[in-house]
Amino acid sequence: MHLVGFSLGAQVAGYAGQRTPGLGRITGLDPAQPYFEYKDPLVRLDPSDAEFVDVIHTDGNSVLTLGFGLFQPSGHIDFYPNGGKKQPGCATFNNTDGQYHLSTGCDHGRAPSYFFESINGDCEFKAYPCDLWDIDYDPSKCNYCLQGDCAVMGYEADKSGLRGTFYLETNSASPYCTK
């Protein structure tokens, strides 16, 4: 069985997995942050909730700056597209006032969009192994793979057998996957 949950649904999938021994897989799509980040694994999605837990982080900014998603790694494999905090195309420039305007929830909503595209698209979301520190401060260090250590974000994430944190870049509009 494979549970897929978005935001609070990802946290609920963790609870379900906790109570379902032997659950095969949980995919967390930008798990909800408020009241979950850095809390006991019993109350949030974590690797013990299923045999394989993969997570796509897209809106890991502080809740004080309207970040809704969990930045903390919470799976066997965690993907941080575009650094996991801001997604390209979610802040728009207004020519009238010369300001950038954020679309509340856009970054958070990208995780399901990426996952759906990984099923329906014809491109693999190739992700590079990366230390969480580098993702947060210098993702340019995360743009190469040694033989066999790149993962694929999305539906096929379980095929590689890889674990850890991974970085990738996406396009600002659909198709999001870069070739």
In tens, the pLDDT along 127-171 reads: 999 998 888 888 888 888 888 899 999 999 999 999 999 999 999
Assess whether 46 carries a catalytic annotation. no
Under-50 pLDDT residues of the chain = none
**Exposed e or buried b per residue across 97-130, where buried means at least 16 C-beta atoms within 10 angstroms of its C-beta:** eeeeeeeeebbbbbbbbbbebbeebeebbbbbbb
In whole angstroms, give the CA distance from residue 150 to residue 147.
8
pLDDT at residue 94, as a whole number? 58
Active-site position among 30, 54, 78, 158: 30
Active-site position among 46, 57, 59, 108: 108
pLDDT at residue 140, as a whole number? 83
Assess whether 103 carries a catalytic annotation. no
pTM more than 0.75: yes
pLDDT at residue 158, as a whole number? 97
- Residue 22: which of 45, 43, 38, 2 has the closest Cα? 2
Assess whether 7 carries a catalytic annotation. yes
CB atoms within 10 A of CB 144: 10
DSSP 37-74: TT--GGGS--GGGSSEEEEE----S-GGGT--B--S--
